[in-house]
Structure 1
Amino acid sequence: MNPAASVIVPCYNEADTIGLLLEAVARQDIGRDRLEVVIADGMSEDRTRQVIQDVAAHYKDLRVRIVDNPDRSIPAALNRAVEAATAEVLIRLDAHSIPSDDYVRRCLEALKSTGAANVGGAWEIRPRGAGWVARAIARAASHPLGAGDARYRIRGAPGPVDTVPFGAFRREWIERVGPFDETLLTNEDYEFNYRLRRAGGRVWFDPSIRSTYFARSRLSELWAQYARYGYWKARMLLRHPASLRWRQALPPVFVALTAAGLAAAAWSPPARWLLGIQWLAYGVVLVGAGLVAALRFKDGPLIVGLPAAWLTMHFAWGLSFWWGLVEGLLGRKRE
């Protein structure tokens, strides 16, 4: 008998966290016998596969399979996992996430009750490390200054949204709109949800569907993550320009205004004043929000850590967005 749901997981060198994910899947309250887990592994070079095999041996009634993903990209991993999965309902999870014990059941219930094409829930974002920088990054990622209006990060009301993290969807939608785009090394989930919405499907946010996501622990890692997001967002927008949301446009606009202000300030005193006012206002907003958070959570280092994290997010995203846009346009010209 086919399982009620297939949990599909892209994975590469996740020995530290893949076991925690599988333990969480094994605790799902719908029962292990109604689930299968398909892990598309990018030929991991650490102990990832051994950890998977050890957990699978412990939970003999949980079907766990590993499929090879020699391309190593996330969209390729998702497509290989979808091909290997046997259930009609596919539930994506990541190797560094931990779903709540009722996660799968609530996904299935939401799909049935809403008729949505894809459903997902809220992240509880936690620090991956113990230091004050890691705490600040986790807080920054769940604040409107770091997440905009993304409901899955800021815990909004249930309803239709542009995207959800991970997601649970029926196989028929893959057959209708096509697989994940393997030319996008990041942002493949947003692009997939955009195609779902254009085909008449709804993407539904349900805050009762909960999972824990572990944020980056260092600013250098945060920069690399958001630079990747910005670059591939721009590449996606060259194909789907109507998918741009205001929260995604703000960092590139701010970076462009800063660059223009610096260029003009060399010869224009008014430009210097405008640039100074722009950065003064920006600094007041970041520091003010950091102060409020530090008082709210009784965590003094947030006064410094949050502005540093938001600055990193905004400029990594904004600069890489322009890089991706220019590179994509030049590539089109060459073609």
Structure 2
Amino acid sequence: MLDATVGQGSKVLVLIPALNEEAHIELCLRSILKHDELARTATVCVADGGSTDTTREIVTKLSAEFPNIQLLDNPKRLQSAAMNLALDPVWSDREILVRCDCHAVYPAGYVSRLVAVLDAKDAASVVVPLDSEPASPAAFAISVAWVSNTPYGTGGSAHRAGRISGYVDHGHHAAFRLDAFRAVGGYDETMVANEDAELDQRITGNGGRIWLDCDNRVTYFPRDKPHRLWQQYFRYGYGRATTCLRHGQRPKLRQLAPVLIVLALLIGLLGAIIGQPWLLLPSVIYLLGLAFVSARVAYSHDSPKGLLAGVAAGIMHVSWGLGFLSRLVRGRER
């Protein structure tokens, strides 16, 4: 199946949004290009949002080794705007769009397999699972990665823990047929996050199908600092609420769980203020649950570094829930 894709590189556009990614960009690009003949003949564009570190210099240096690498400017700085550069008429001859992200390492033959699966499954889009690995040797970074690979951190979503390929309604974006991408106008650049799920909603609403390929797994490096993890998951929750409001969706149970956790913690805080300690019970149960997560992750990896897994999971849950609720307070868009 993969051999049939060789020679199709001129029809493939690979886009990589980037902003101050000097720690990741070279590893990311080399993983895409080193062991994939099709990727080396495709156009690989790094869409830079105005990096102030050495990201641009690294990309320029690599373009001497890999002439198919191009450096583009993304003045809007958003990932969605970077991906929408594919809508420029200059790429009108391209048929397939591949999205890659700097905080990831890609398996050998990644782009070739995406092209082959798009053809084999007659899908509008192919999505892939993420397997988290620590971004640094720090205990917190290790705990974030470990808990992200469990239902405690991600709720058991198919594109994070899935092992069975099939048609899905959403997943981590990997490849699109550009005619389907153009037909719905690409990403919504007003979305601060969750723009991928929002786009999937429009693609399936337009009759397209999305295939989850669990045999083409991506190694992802999650945020390794508490405040960065908080900011990321707050945006995730905010963006998910925007998608739900915009398309009249009901959030899934795993998406409601962080919201219920935040409400339980707020009720517990109220109980402490008004002298009703019994209202603290849900909060106590949740905190005990986080302690269990820490112990479970540390035990499964036979390492005390996993004892921060409960802290990492708590940050994910609470920030996501607060982001979701803060967006609901704003109500529907005009």
Scaled by the length of structure 1, the TM-score of the pair is 0.90
**Structure 2: unaligned runs, 5 residues or longer:** 1-7
1:75 counterpart = 2:80: yes
Q: Is the 8 A contact 1:39 1:81 kept in 2?
A: no
Q: Could you tell me which amino acid in structure 2 is paired with residue 287 of structure 1?
A: A
Partner SS for 1:227:
helix
1:210 is displaced (CA, Å) by 1.7
Question: Would the alpha carbon gap of residues 77 and 243 (structure 1) be closer, same or farther in structure 2, given more than 3 Å must change?
Answer: farther
Structure 2 equivalent of residue 171 of structure 1: 178
Structure 2 equivalent of residue 212 of structure 1: 219
Structure 2 equivalent of residue 291 of structure 1: 295
1:289 is displaced (CA, Å) by 2.7
Size of the alignment, in residue pairs? 325
Structural RMSD (CA): 2.1
- In the alignment, which of 49, 53, 64 is matched to residue 60 of structure 2? 53
Question: Would the alpha carbon gap of residues 201 and 148 (structure 1) be closer, same or farther in structure 2, given more than 3 Å must change?
Answer: same
1:298 is displaced (CA, Å) by 0.7
Partner SS for 1:40:
strand
Q: Could you tell me which amino acid in structure 1 is paired with residue 21 of structure 2?
A: E
Q: Could you tell me which amino acid in structure 1 is paired with residue 254 of structure 2?
A: R
Partner SS for 1:168:
strand
Q: Could you tell me which amino acid in structure 2 is paired with residue 308 of structure 1?
A: V
Q: How does 1:309-324 map to 2 (within 5 A)?
A: 309-324=312-327
Structure 2 equivalent of residue 198 of structure 1: 205
Q: How does 1:96-107 map to 2 (within 5 A)?
A: 96-107=103-114
- In the alignment, which of 247, 259, 269 is matched to residue 240 of structure 1? 247
1:274 is displaced (CA, Å) by 4.5
Mapped partners of 1:32, 1:111: distance in 2: 15
1:263 is displaced (CA, Å) by 2.9
- Superposed CA offset, 1:229-262 (max 9, x none): 1122222322123162222121112212332343
% identity of equivalent residues? 32
- In the alignment, which of 154, 176, 191 is matched to residue 147 of structure 1? 154
- In the alignment, which of 26, 33, 44 is matched to residue 26 of structure 1? 33
- In the alignment, which of 32, 37, 48 is matched to residue 44 of structure 2? 37
Question: Would the alpha carbon gap of residues 201 and 180 (structure 1) be closer, same or farther in structure 2, given more than 3 Å must change?
Answer: same
Q: Is the 8 A contact 1:40 1:81 kept in 2?
A: no
Mapped partners of 2:224, 2:304: distance in 1: 18
Scaled by the length of structure 2, the TM-score of the pair is 0.90
Q: Is the 8 A contact 1:67 1:80 kept in 2?
A: no
Partner SS for 2:75:
coil
Mapped partners of 2:45, 2:274: distance in 1: 60
1:113 counterpart = 2:120: yes
Q: Is the 8 A contact 1:69 1:76 kept in 2?
A: yes
1:91 is displaced (CA, Å) by 0.7
Q: Could you tell me which amino acid in structure 1 is paired with residue 14 of structure 2?
A: V
Q: Could you tell me which amino acid in structure 2 is paired with residue 273 of structure 1?
A: W
Question: Would the alpha carbon gap of residues 235 and 104 (structure 1) be closer, same or farther in structure 2, given more than 3 Å must change?
Answer: same
Partner SS for 2:183:
helix
Mapped partners of 2:135, 2:298: distance in 1: 19
Q: How does 1:173-192 map to 2 (within 5 A)?
A: 173-192=180-199
Partner SS for 1:301:
helix
- Superposed CA offset, 1:30-56 (max 9, x none): 344531112221122222221111101
Question: Would the alpha carbon gap of residues 261 and 187 (structure 1) be closer, same or farther in structure 2, given more than 3 Å must change?
Answer: same
Question: Would the alpha carbon gap of residues 328 and 57 (structure 1) be closer, same or farther in structure 2, given more than 3 Å must change?
Answer: farther
1:27 is displaced (CA, Å) by 1.5
Structure 2 equivalent of residue 131 of structure 1: 138
